[in-house]
Structure 1
Amino acid sequence: MITLPANLPGFVARQREHAEKQRAQLGVEARSWYRITNAADPDEAEVMLYDEIGGWFGSTADELIADLRGITAPRMRVRVNSPGGSVFEGVAIANALRSHPAQVTVQVDGIAASIASVIAMAGDRIEMAPNTMMMIHDASGVCMGNASDMEEMAELLDLISDNIADAYAAKAGGTRDEWRARMKAETWYLPEDAVAAGLADEAVQTPKAGAPTEPAEPEPDMARAWDLAAYGYQGPRPAEPAPTATLTEDIRTLVGEEVAAQLAAAVVPPTEATTAAESADEVTASEPAVTPAEAAPEAPAAEPVDEWAAAVAHLVQPPSDPWAAAVAHLINSTSAASSATEAA
C-alpha cells in the first residue's frame, strides 16, 4: 500500500486537482476503476472495484462514495480485483461501506492486495472466489528531504501500519503485533488460507450460470435400482405362515357305518388279563362299583352282508343230482335204523 508523502505541503490538493482535470478530459472513462449497477438483482446492487485505488493514479474515492449514497437496494455485493493503492482513499471507501445501511458482501474476484484487502474487511460477509488471492503488507511511501524528514516519514508509516493491523484484528481476531508480524512478512493467502486465518468467511465454488448442478458423488449407473413406486410396488410382502390343514369331515359319511365300525374295532388295543390283586389295587374309593349289567361285554358286531357274494352264490354251488335225490330217503332210513340199533 502506498501513502502520501508527509513532507510535501499541498500534495493531496494537487493530486485531486489533477484527477479532476483527467475526469474532465476523459469523461466517463475516468471512472472505469469502479462501476455500480442494479441489473443483476433488483434487491442487490453490484459495485465493482477493478483497478488501483486513490489519488496517486488519478482516481479519488469522493465520487465513488457519492454514488454509494444513491444505492437503495437492501443488499450490496462489492466485487474486488485490485492491487491496492492509496491508504487514505481506501480507508475512506471502507468506512463508506461500513456505514451504508445495505447488507454488504465483499466478493474477491481476482486479487485483494494491500489497501484493497482493507476495503474487503469492511464487508458484513467476505467471500473468496476460486483461485483468488489476498495479500497484506506494511505501508510504504515516498519521501524527499533530510534525515529528520525521513525519520518523520518512518514514524508515520509505522502508525499507518498499526492502524491497518487493527482492521485485520477487528475482523479475524488476534492482536496488533501478531498482524504486524504477518504484514512485515508480506503474507499471501489462497481462499482456504484466508478462511482459516479469519480474513474471509467462505471459499465459494461458483458454478457456471445456467449449468446443471451435478451431485457431489453421482451414483454409478449399474448400481441404480429401478423405482417401481410409480407402478404401485411397495416392496416384497412378508411371508405368511402356511395354513394348518384340519380334517372336519366325518369318516362315517365317506365309508359307511359298517366299515367305520370295523375300522374302529381294528384299532382298539387288546385287553390284557390282570390278576385279582392288580384289579383290587386299581379300584379306588372314588370310583363307583360296576354292576353285572354294566360289566357285560358288548355283543360282537354283525358280520357285514356281502351282497355281491349272495348274488353269485347260486352260480358257484354244484348242480343237484336227480338220482341222489331219488334214493335219498332210502339212505336216510338206513342211517336212522342204524342209529336206533346202536342206541338199543
Structure 2
Amino acid sequence: MRQLLNLLISNRQADRRFEVVQNQSGGDATLYLYDCIVATQAEADWWGGVAADTVAKKIAAIDAPTIHVRINSPGGDVFGGRAIETALRQHPAQIHVHVDGLAASAASFIAMAGDVIAISPGAFVMIHQAQTLAYGSADALEKTAGLLRKVDATLVDTYVTRTKQDDGRVRDWVHAETWFTAAEAVEYGFADQLADDSNDVSACWNLSAYAKAPIAASVPPENPVPPEPAAPAGQDDQSHRQRAANQRRVALLNLGF
C-alpha cells in the first residue's frame, strides 16, 4: 500500500527509536514507541520502523508492576499494531499510556490498551480506515474490499469500547480520517487526562502520507519515493533488483493503516 510505504520512507531516520527501560530495583518499566510500525523485523531492516514481533517479545519479557508506554508514532501496519496492542493487554502489569506527541493510525489503538491514558498538551490522536493495494478480477477486488470492511469494523469496536461513544459517530470519525487535539481526545474518551507536562514532539514527523494532517502535527513533505539504493558490495545489479522487488511485494501485500 503506497500510503504505508510513503509513511515509512519519508520518516526513516536514525534517531527514531524503540526502547524498554526498566528500573534495576524491580520497579516500573518504560517502553518508548517512537517510530513507525511494521509487522516483522525483516520489514524493519528494509524499510525502517519498529517491528511488532520484536516489540511483543520485549513486552513479554518485562517483569514490572507497571509499564509506562510512551507513544510518538505516525502509525503503520494494522496487524503489527494489533499484535503490539494484544501484547500489552495480555501483560499482567498495569499499563499507563502517555501520548507524548502523536498516536496516529495503528498507534492510536495501541494507545487504547492503556488502563490509564494521558495525552500531552499539543499532542494528537488520529483514527482512519485501513487501506491496502489490490489487483486482479472483480471477485478478487470485492473480497479485498470485504476484508477491509471487516478490519474497519474491528477498529470501530475497539474505539467504541474505550470511548463509550456512539457506534455510528465513531464510524464516521474513522471514515473521515479524524485528528483529535489533546483536549478533544480527553473530551471524547480517547484519553483519560491531560499530562502534567507539555511535550509536543509531534512536529518531528512527516505526515504527508495522510490526507488531513493538521499543519501543527506535521513537517514540510519530503520526496516520498527516494531513488533505489545501490546494490551492496559483492551483489550484482540483477540480483539486487530482484531482492528489492520481492521486498516491495511483501510490503505492498500487507494491510496499511
- What TM-score, normalized to structure 1? 0.49
Q: Distance between the aligned counterparts of 1:124 and 1:41, measured in 2? A: 23
Identity %: 39
Amino acid at match of 1:79: R
* Contact in 1 for aligned 2:39/2:53 (Cα 8 Å): no
CA contact under 8 A between 2:121 and 2:183: conserved in structure 1? no
Task: Give the distance between the partners of 1:41 and 1:82, measured in 2 at CA.
Answer: 29
Which residue of 64, 67, 70 maps to 1:73?
Answer: 64
1:161 to 152, 159, 162: 152
* Alignment partner, residue 140 of structure 2: 149
Report which structure shows greater RCO (CA 8 Å, sep ≥6). 2
Residue of structure 1 equivalent to 2:77:
86
Question: Structure 1: which 5+ residue stretches go unaligned?
Answer: 5-28, 209-344
Whether the aligned pair in 2 keeps the contact of 1:125 and 1:201 (CA below 8 Å) is: yes
Report the 3-state secondary structure (helix = DSSP H, G, I; strand = E; otherwise coil) of the residue aligned with 2:37.
coil
Aligned to 1:103: 94
Residue 206 (structure 1) aligns with: 197
Q: Indicate the structure with greater strand content.
A: 2
2:165 counterpart of 1:174 = yes
Helix, strand or coil at the partner of 1:174: coil
1:45 correspondence with 2:29: yes
Which deviations, in whole Å up to 9, do the C-alpha atoms of 1:243-294 show, x marking residues without a partner?
xxxxxxxxxxxxxxxxxxxxxxxxxxxxxxxxxxxxxxxxxxxxxxxxxxxx
- 8 Å CA contact 1:3–1:88 kept in 2: the answer is no
What is the distance in 2 between the residues matched to 1:2 and 1:95? 26
CA separation in 2, counterparts of 1:109 and 1:40?
24
Tell me by how many angstroms 1:207 deviates. Answer: 7.0
Q: Deviations over 1:293-314 (max 9, x none)?
A: xxxxxxxxxxxxxxxxxxxxxx
What secondary structure sits across from 1:162 in the alignment? helix
Whole-angstrom distance in 2 between the partners of 1:166 and 1:65: 22
When the two structures are superposed, what TM-score results if normalisation uses the length of structure 2?
0.65
Structure 1 match to 2:220: none
Letter in 1 for 2:32: M
Relative to structure 1, the CA distance from residue 120 to residue 2 in structure 2 (aligned partners, 3 Å threshold; closer, same or farther) is: farther
- 1:71 maps to a residue whose letter is I
Distance in 2, Cα, partners of 1:63 & 1:205:
31
Q: Deviations over 1:154-179 (max 9, x none)?
A: 11111100100000011011343321
Cα distance 1:41–1:54, how it changes in 2: closer, same or farther (>3 A)? farther
Match of 2:125 in 1: 134
Larger radius of gyration: 1
Residue 2 to residue 157, structure 1, CA distance change in 2 (3 Å): farther
3-state DSSP of counterpart to 1:153: helix
Per-residue CA shift, 1:111-133, capped at 9, x if unaligned?
10011000000000111012100
